[in-house]
Structure 1
Amino acid sequence: MSIDPRHYHQPSWRKPVGMLTIVGLIIAWAVLVGSLSPWIGTLPVWAQVPVYVVLGIVWIWILPLKRLLAWMETGRWR
């Protein structure tokens, strides 16, 4: 059984670069939240939840990763 050259796909360099960028973003997020933890810890628990939701879900996952994942797949930022 031979590989049909029409269906052979060369792996893109964007995926490993994107994965390393994701790891870098997670590390940067952890450092940021860790440095903010003395301030966040003084807030009441009911106020801490929205802060962590915004810092975690919106800041690290939705805003940068949506476009980064699109770039990894298509090569375009939009």
Structure 2
Amino acid sequence: MPIRLKKLIGTILLVALVIIYALIASAIAVTRLAEYGATVHFLFFLFSGLLWVLPAMGIIKWLIIEPPPKR
């Protein structure tokens, strides 16, 4: 796969991940945490704000893997 195409796909995946993850985390916060206090909201958003990094790291690792040399 050409490196330019790989970077384009990776960029689109990262942007989609952030948008979809933010929508899901916000929907969970609105539906499940409405009756809880500020401390629970803070902890939820702290945890969910750090959790998206794990799939993003996988995408970034895929982006930086060097293609095997052609023979």
Q: TM-score, normalised by structure 2?
A: 0.73
Partner of residue 43 from structure 2, selected from 41, 50, 54: 50
Percent pairwise identity: 15
In structure 2, the gaps of 5 or more residues are none
Aligned AA for 2:12? L
- C-alpha deviation, 1:35, in angstroms: 1.6
Distance in 2 of aligned mates of 1:72 and 1:64? 13
Which moved further from structure 2: 20-29 or 37-46? 37-46
Partner of residue 16 from structure 1, selected from 8, 33, 48: 8
Structure number with higher helix proportion? 2
CA RMSD of aligned residues (A): 2.1
The higher-RCO structure (CA 8 Å, 6+ apart) is 2
- C-alpha deviation, 1:11, in angstroms: 3.8
Q: Residues 10-53 of structure 1: CA distance to partner in whole angstroms, max 9, x if unpaired?
A: 74321110110111111111221232223223221111112112
Q: TM-score, normalised by structure 1?
A: 0.67
- Please name the residue that 1:68 is paired with: 59
In structure 1, the gaps of 5 or more residues are 1-9
> Computing the radius of gyration over CA atoms, which structure comes out larger, 1 or 2?
1
Aligned AA for 1:65? A
Give yes or no for the alignment of 1:30 onto 2:22.
yes
State how many pairs are aligned.
65
Does the 8 Å contact 2:14/2:56 carry over to 1? yes
